[in-house]
Amino acid sequence: MLVVRVQPETAGDIFLMSINAKFPPRPLLATSAYEGGAQLSPDKHWILYQSNETGEPEIYVRRYPAMDREWQVSEGVGTQAHWGTTGREIYYRSGQRMMVLAFHASGSEPSFEKPSPLFADEYVFGQSISIPNYHVTRDGRFIMLRRAHGSSLRVVINWTEELKQILAAGGVH
């Protein structure tokens, strides 16, 4: 499991941790910058993470387990990175914009397409700037919490039945 360990001398660092304590936590990436929100790619050959080494939060990819090179994939501010389910897409937030870019891993040199915005709206960021508070489903849909303007609370009972009806009708458009 990949975790962020905050240390006074190095800010946030990415550690590999054994869930069943087979080995002590090992640092994978420890620099003077903050690194966080790390995720292994679905094929377990790449790590996606956020770092502020440029002075702004940006999204990077490194080979795993080598960790010998990094590639910056975001343009401008990038937070809350997330692999697509196939490992061929990278999603991240840039302000109120949700961004996507294609990731191609052939051998040891990855290639990336230019990031493009998918949509923009006021979505809640949650408590962490580096760990995504959204999910991308297998079919490419997003589960996000839209920022509420007002003080109303909506409770949905039997939501699974409502979800079945929505999906049977072709989903939300």
Domain containing residue 99: 2-168
pLDDT band at 150 (very low <50, low <70, confident <90, very high): low
45 φ, ψ (degrees, to nearest 5)? -105, -5
Residue 121 lies in a domain: yes
Asked whether the beta carbons of 47 and 39 are under 8 A apart, the reply is yes
pTM here is 0.82
Give the CATH number of the domain where residue 145 resides: 2.120.10.30
Query: What whole-number distance in Å separates Cα of residue 13 and Cα of residue 42?
Result: 22
pLDDT band at 140 (very low <50, low <70, confident <90, very high): confident
Number of domains in the chain: 1
Predicted confidence (pLDDT) at residue 170 exceeds the cutoff of 90: no
Asked whether the beta carbons of 20 and 10 are under 8 A apart, the reply is no
Residue 173 lies in a domain: no
Query: What whole-number distance in Å separates Cα of residue 114 and Cα of residue 123?
Result: 23
Query: What whole-number distance in Å separates Cα of residue 164 and Cα of residue 53?
Result: 45
Q: What is the pLDDT of residues 8-59, one digit of tens each?
A: 888 899 999 999 999 999 999 999 999 999 999 999 999 999 999 999 999 9
Residue 130 lies in a domain: yes
The percentage of residues in the chain with a pLDDT greater than 70, rounded to a whole number, is 92
Structure tokens at 16: 């590999």
